[in-house]
Amino acid sequence: MKVGILSFQGSFLDHSKSISEIGFNPLLIKQSKDLDFIDALILPGGESTAMKKINEFSGLLSKLDQIIKDGIPTLTTCAGTILLAKEVIGGEETIPNIDIEITRNAYGRQTESFEGNVKFFENEDIYCFIRAPKISKILSDEVDIIAEHNDEIVGAAQKNVVALTFHPELNNDEYYLNWLYDFILEGKNVRSF
């Protein structure tokens, strides 16, 4: 299985390590032709504004939008979640594919980044929030809440898209890696193993 990871900038190398760890092949996506060979997709954390600027030269996001809408299993973290949100507080929508409202830099600037306890499905662990956004509103009954930090929504899923505001790829704990393996194989929101 080949998992494409948007590689404009951000934490794409950390996601690449996660994919290798579970026995799949990571493919760093920098141009449209790279998308022809993938079975799943990851849009990493980083800086969503920078990703949009880089896209002006590649035009890659419109093709990403189409393959996501066609049903490819898609995981987003942090800035990647901003790119897919239907509504963005403090920014603009880019390629909306999940019915959430997201607030950019909800916990503050880079210096306010932190590690915090997250309930991700039935598991609880400590994960990193780096200049993190927050899912401020669920906009559809089709969206499931899958992760919370202090009663705040930090993870949601709709159809083939799982959107997280934290960085599980920096921990690579056993629960996350098992979930990721199943999500990529099954192509949808995975609740149990």
Tokens 């969206």 found at? 143
Query: Is 15 a known active-site residue?
Result: no
Which of 78, 115, 149, 186 is the catalytic position? 78
Handedness of CA 99, 181, 35, 71 (dihedral sign): negative
Phi-psi region for residue 97, left (φ > 0), alpha (ψ -120 to 50) or beta?
Answer: alpha
Q: Can you give the three-state secondary structure of 112-160, one letter per residue?
A: HCEEEEEEECCEEEEEEECCCCEEEEECCCCCEEEEEECCEEEEEEECC
Q: Give me the half-sphere count of Cα atoms (radius 13 Å) on the Cβ side of residue 146.
A: 23
Query: Is 78 a known active-site residue?
Result: yes
Which of 92, 148, 167, 174 is the catalytic position? 167
Which of 87, 149, 169, 186 is the catalytic position? 169
Tokens 């504004």 found at? 49
Query: Is 149 a known active-site residue?
Result: no
Active-site annotation, residues = 78, 167, 169
